[in-house]
Amino acid sequence: MAWLRLQSAAAVLALMVIAGAAHSFEFHEATIDAIQLGFRNGSLTSTALVQSYLDQISRLNPLLRAVIEVNPDALRQAACADAARGRGQPTGVLHGVPVLLKDNIATRDALNTTAGSLALLGSVVRRDAGVAARLRRAGAVVLDKSNPSEWSEFRQVDNGWSARGGQTRNPYVLSSDPCGSSAGSGVAAAANMAAVTLGTDTDGSILCPSSFNSVVGIRPTLGLTSRAGVVSITPLQDTVGPICRTVSDAVHVLDAVIGYDEHDAAATGAASKYIPPGGYAQFLRKDGLRGKRVGVLRGFFQSYAGTQRLRVYEQHLATMRKHGAVVVDNLRVTANPTALLDDISSNEGIAVVAEFKLSINAYLADLVYSPVHSLADIIVFNNAHPIEEQMKDFGQDDLIAAQNTSGIGPVERVAIRRLKKLSANGLEKLMKEHQLDVIVTPGSDASSLLATGGHPGIIVPAGFNEQGVPFGICFGGLQGYEPRLIEMAYAFEQATKVRKPPMFKP
């Protein structure tokens, strides 16, 4: 009996030690590596981690409106992850880690997938989106969905506004733009409302909110991640990628979601040749700037002349040189960057309007159940709900324009060829002629150069302007350049360590 009492006392003491250790875990700004260390040393459980983020969402979301819906099964999933870990069956670096998904990424669970629109509320998807399925296989906990700009801002709403979620707000300066249709994911990552998040990018929708919210965003090469099960704008440009607080976290998430998907076979099959054996985490190198040729597109920096922001960028270029990069300065894709972007925008608009109708009708046709069955039905729904959908403020001119298209005809094909030509004779030619590993541009200002060619880009926090609004720096390259971009982005991040969490109080 004395032995049993001793054993019981030891068990209680062990529980007290574990409880005390769990209490000491630093949830704020926790990285995936820190989370996994906490799991291994017993100072953290997935259940405690999920509860911490749920508490943070409860505190902050009434003001920030970054989260559109919380998964009622998240704690159950966390408990299952804890049980699997207890049996010695973790499945990787994301095992038991809570992940937030943009609300245009389908999940076959209790969560809705609506792209922010009330028209899709209650719809039932046939299966998880390809990236969501991969996250589950990696052991991640699907925590919630983020508030997107409705229809990924194809409908011309304010950045971060949707009828379902309201207006997402920038946690650094509440009156500032949260930016891009993945604004909710960017804000949630910045404000520690999830461990890691996923967004989608047509033209800047990952890069821009990452820049404006002092987080890291990766726009992967087109097809590196599946778009199956995503409420898409255009398969010509759409890609799914991570938005996280560190380069390392973003790369871990990228490793989990890349790969071939039979439901997006053409794109993922073509891009699979770019995936390196062993994945991307191997390129997290502190000396990653050494020997790299960095092209500075000066035309994109001119609008910041005389500002604190430009002075910071110049310091960062000096840091890159200090760490062994060869900075090739004063490069231009064209003599007139503004004219180039206008040319891209006009042709992009022609192609995307037609592609959106095809994409949304295909998505709706694959649903098990939906209140609407076509783009025409969505337009009717909005007209029937003018207050909820704020028709007076935003209208739906682009939705109507898309409805009036009839597929990819001669005009659209000309526009698509023009975009390919602009990319081939612009960014691609420049990088090959100067043998560049990367181009560097301010924030997401050059996102169109990347998007129209299906090229990758990584935003890393770079500084704060005079008002305290964050801004990032973009490392961009050609298709398949992720390894060298990750090396440089990680080395830059480690050399500068610019990111600071928002300090506001709700």
Distance, first Cα to last Cα, the chain:
54
Do residues 302 and 335 lie in contact, with contact meaning Cβ atoms separated by under 8 Å? no
Do residues 363 and 232 lie in contact, with contact meaning Cβ atoms separated by under 8 Å? yes
CA dist list (Å): 288 to 20, 240, 248: 39, 25, 13
CA dist list (Å): 18 to 39, 43, 310, 313, 324: 11, 6, 49, 46, 45
Do residues 192 and 186 lie in contact, with contact meaning Cβ atoms separated by under 8 Å? no
Q: Is the dihedral of CA 481, 209, 420, 364 positive or negative?
A: positive
CA dist list (Å): 35 to 14, 22, 288, 302, 475: 21, 11, 25, 42, 28
- Rounded distance, CA 48 to CA 50, Å? 6
Residue 213 has a CB neighbour count (10 Å cut-off) of 34
> Tokens standing for 396?
């739906």
Residue at token pair 């159950």:
76
Query: What 8-state DSSP symbol labels residue 107?
Result: -
> Tokens standing for 149?
């700009």
Q: Which of 43, 46, 102, 357 is catalytic?
A: 102
- Rounded distance, CA 363 to CA 115, Å? 12
Do residues 226 and 263 lie in contact, with contact meaning Cβ atoms separated by under 8 Å? yes
Q: Which of 43, 181, 226, 248 is catalytic?
A: 181
Question: Any catalytic annotation for residue 149?
Answer: no
Q: Which of 205, 232, 370, 447 is catalytic?
A: 205
Q: Is 460 helix (H, G, I), strand (E, B) or coil?
A: strand
Question: Any catalytic annotation for residue 102?
Answer: yes
Q: Is the dihedral of CA 216, 221, 226, 231 positive or negative?
A: positive
Chain length of the chain: 506
Q: Point out which residues pair with 326 in neighbouring strands.
A: 293
CA dist list (Å): 437 to 128, 182, 421, 431, 433: 36, 27, 21, 7, 11
H or E element, residue 356? helix 337-365
Q: Is the dihedral of CA 250, 61, 500, 44 positive or negative?
A: negative
338: amino acid identity, one letter: T
Q: Point out which residues pair with 442 in neighbouring strands.
A: 473
Question: Any catalytic annotation for residue 181?
Answer: yes
Residues 6 or more apart whose CB falls under 8 angstroms from that of 413 comprise: none
Do residues 19 and 45 lie in contact, with contact meaning Cβ atoms separated by under 8 Å? no
Residues 6 or more apart whose CB falls under 8 angstroms from that of 354 comprise: 402, 405, 406, 407, 408, 409, 412
What amino acid positions are annotated as catalytic residues? 102, 181, 205
